[in-house]
Structure 1
Amino acid sequence: MPIRQEMPVFDRPMVAIGLEGSANKLGVGIIRHFPRPNKTSPRPPAEILSNIRHTYITPPGEGFLPRDTAKHHRSFVVKLVKEAILQSELTVDDIDCVCFTQGPGMGAPLQSVAIAARTICLMWDKPLVGVNHCVGHIEMGREITGADNPVVLYVSGGNTQVIAYSHQRYRIFGETLDIAVGNCLDRFARTLQIPNDPSPGYNIELLAQKGKHYVELPYTVKGMDVSMSGILAYIDGIAADVFSGKPRFADDSEQITREDLCFSLQETIFAMLVEITERAMAHVGSQQVLIVGGVGCNERLQNMMGIMARDRGGDVYATDERFCIDNGIMIAHAGLLAYETGYRTALEDSVCTQRFRTDEVFVAWR
């Protein structure tokens, strides 16, 4: 079981290093928290000392296999840790704890980074803190944007959830029933042979901006949940016709292009996400939406969510690619928040899990 000590009181700045490697992005970040002036005052803004990332990129039409991604992480983790320390202008003695992503994510990459974190904590004689990947996204988003108590839309390659905080847990109000939104976009990018550099989802976003015709696709909202595998299969079929010389035509008899397909896919699945997010806002009475996760960088998703939020008299909060895409600083930040409440992860409990639910985490710092 994780070790939870009596709530300590810190009268000096605290520093954490965070290692993230749940998918194809390897990130290392170092953050500094400052003590509260008193128990009732808010914590001063954190100081980001370094935030370095390296991405494993595959050829167009190919996804990233767990074993190859894990090999990439093993190859670069030492280099990134050294660069992060140099960039922070700190020494090992200044680090208070070592934080790492414990899940969810791809098994082999998670294990590679966990081994690196365990090795560092033993070499440096520092406490270890395991972090939930989603909670890292949420806390980093709250820190950067200043969102107080928002409904959170968590959208990434492996996760799609609508979340709100209640009684020291991040409660899941709705989620995908099959594949995540990022996985849906990435797989369609492979269908179209779209490059994976810098990311397939970003390249789909660029193509979608040139789309002129909306192709009607299945719209699968089931209560507070969504389903995307059927949408992907349907649009893959249309794309196969286009590529095989059986053109599809829009209402004005113009031939449907791959730009039209990217535009239509984005519009459909983003509308689904906006719907369930609005329903969660109405349920909890919140006027704030925080979008986190790699897909949260998508400007069209932010615009659509903004239209909905403004109609409700609310606001949308989002970060740029430094903090939206998987990164080490979010793991360092969430880990340090937990560490400051007395949380530690014993070596025997530092195993990773691909299915680490967001609502399993006790949020002692709120």
Structure 2
Amino acid sequence: MPGRVRKDPLRKPDRPYLALGLEGSANKFGAGVIKHFEDGSTAVLSNIRHTYITPPGEGFQPRDTALHHREWALKVINDCLTKADVSMHDLDCICYTKGPGMGAPLQSVALVARTLSLLFNKPLVGVNHCVGHIEMGREITGAQNPVVLYVSGGNTQVIAYSRQCYRIFGETLDIAIGNCLDRFARVINLSNDPAPGYNIEQEAKKGKRLLALPYTTKGMDVSFSGILTSVEAYTFDKRFRANGQPQNSNDEDIITPADLCFSLQETIYAMLVEITERAMAHIGSKEVLIVGGVGSNERLQEMMGIMAQERGGKVFATDERFCIDNGIMIAQAGLLSFRMGFETPLSESTCTQRFRTDEVHVAWRA
């Protein structure tokens, strides 16, 4: 059976449950079908997505992204149901991303979810995007009570669970880490295919010089706007070579795009490791779970692993199937909530760009 299965004796359903999850808070439209069995195991039946990719040097605008989601919704959902070998009539609920995210894309997904709910008379469940990442990460990795580092294009948070709520210990004070990476990729004209952050990661592997950049942690919070400004300034340095080639054989002091990518990654990931370690010390946890699109970065996982090992702990992370925005994480969080009796009335099936992680009642955890 596709996906992974993990038994959890703490939350066994009374019968098999099926949910369709729809995600579209940014430039990916995703649909996934998940099944919860009576013995407490979970199976990912399908997980399909399509990404809106813009030319190098360009970001994705809300209006164009929403149009992409509307154009691809039917195909992605049909492919998802076909791969899962289920029909809309088999589903117990339809889960969709309520927020946070970009307004226009969120509205497109909410519209699709409401339409399907009305056509097939299925309950709706609005899901917090951040909680979706966390619950899918816990399900796939088996992490029990970790400190969560949530890093993506629109969010940067250090989170821990307490009393049926995911508490935010620290977060970005300005732009998210993924936004920082995406914007710098546009400055040096890196491709957006498959993702700007991925291409920065590959470029950074060729970097040889660690350049001085602002290291900005403020208690448990971080700031990335100053670092972005500083690394962009290096592109105007007379030593900078956009093609990475010296002008003559004696020119050994050049700064290359690879050096800038390497320096940016090392600095911002060190900041994240620092505040995550503080949270671990505060709650006495030995586990770190990295979720969100930036969480698939191998260097971030490596740096976090070194820190956790020194503390006698362990890092949990998923691959790009579950780390990058996807429909199955919305299905997982939504179905957990649905099984606790939660439904979103049609009159309240809206979306919001600002839906904080700590606003969700995590009723399914003891």
Is the contact made by 2:126 and 2:334 (CA closer than 8 Å) also made in structure 1? Answer: yes
5+ residue gaps, structure 1: 1-7, 37-42
Amino acid across the alignment from 2:19: A
**Counterpart for residue 16 of structure 2:** 13
- Choose which of 153, 171, 177 in structure 2 pairs with 1:175: 171
- Secondary structure class of the residue paired with 1:62: coil
Whether the aligned pair in 1 keeps the contact of 2:241 and 2:257 (CA below 8 Å) is no
Instruction: Show the counterpart of 1:22.
Output: 25
Counterpart of 1:307, as a letter, is I
**Is residue 43 of structure 2 the alignment partner of residue 47 of structure 1?**
yes
Aligned to 1:234: 230
How far does residue 240 in structure 1 lie from its aligned partner after superposition?
Answer: 2.7
- Looking at structure 1, the residues matched to 14 and 98 of structure 2 have their Cα atoms a distance apart, in angstroms, of 29
2:46 aligned counterpart, secondary structure: strand
TM-score by length of structure 2 reads: 0.93
Deviations 1:225-258 (A, max 9, x none): 000000001110111332699x99xxx9521111
- Counterpart AA for 2:32: G
How far does the alpha carbon of each residue in 1:9-44 deviate from its partner, in whole angstroms, 9 at most, with x for none? Answer: 9532000000000000110000000124xxxxxx32
CA deviations 1:154-210 (Å, max 9, x no partner) are 000000000000000000000000000000000000000000000000000000001
How many aligned residue pairs are there? 348
Q: What is the distance in 1 between the residues matched to 2:50 and 2:88?
A: 22
Match of 1:39 in 2: none
**Paired position in structure 1 for 2:161:** 165
Which residue type is aligned with residue 276 of structure 1? I
Distance 1:184 1:18 in 2: 28
Kindly indicate whether the alpha-carbon contact (under 8 Å) linking 2:241 and 2:254 is maintained by their aligned counterparts in 1.
no
How far apart, in 1, do the equivalents of 2:129 and 2:235 lie? 34
State the partner residue of 1:90. Answer: 86
Structure 2: gaps of 5 or more residues: 1-10
Which secondary structure state, in structure 2, belongs to the residue aligned with residue 144 of structure 1? helix
Give the AA of the match of 1:26. F
Please show how residues 65-84 of structure 1 align to structure 2 within 5 Å: 65-84=61-80
Q: Distance in 2 between matches of 1:240 and 1:28?
A: 43
Flag as ranges the 4+ runs of structure 1 deviating above 6 A: none
Correspondence for 1:123: 119
Q: Aligned partners of 2:342, 2:38: CA distance in 1, in Å?
A: 17
SS state at 1:343 partner:
coil
2-side partners of 1:349 and 1:274: how far apart?
39
CA RMSD of aligned residues (A): 1.7
**Distance in 1 between residues matched to 2:12 and 2:312, nearest whole Å:** 39
Q: 1:190/1:104 Cα in 2 relative to 1: closer, same or farther (>3 Å)?
A: same
Cα distance in 2 between the residues matched to 1:280 and 1:191: 33
Name the CA distance, whole Å, in 2 between partners of 1:176 and 1:9: 37
What one-letter code is carried by the residue in structure 2 that aligns with 1:265? L
Q: Is residue 201–residue 261 contact of structure 2 (8 Å, CA) maintained in 1? A: yes
CA distance in 1, matches of 2:20, 2:61: 27
CA contact (8 A) 2:101 2:154 kept: yes
Between 1:148-157 and 1:254-263, the stretch displaced more is: 254-263
| SS at structure 2 position matched to 1:344 | coil
Q: Could you tell me the percent identity over the aligned residues?
A: 69
Aligned residues of 2:99 and 2:129 also touching (Cα < 8 A): yes
Measured in 2, the distance between the counterparts of 1:109 and 1:328 equals: 14
Tell which has more relative contact order, 1 or 2 (C-alpha 8 A, sep 6+).
1
Per the alignment, residue 150 of structure 2 pairs with 154
How many Å apart are 1:290 and its aligned residue? Answer: 0.1
**Structure 1 residues 43-96: Cα deviation after superposition (integer angstroms, max 9, x where no partner):** 32x111110010000000000000000000000001111111111111222100
Deviation at 1:150, TM superposition (A): 0.1
- Trace 1:266-281 onto structure 2 (pairs within 5 A): 266-281=265-280
Length-normalised TM-score, structure 1: 0.93
Partner of 2:218: 222
**1:203 and 2:188 equivalent?**
no
| Distance of 1:187 and 1:10 partners within structure 2 | 44
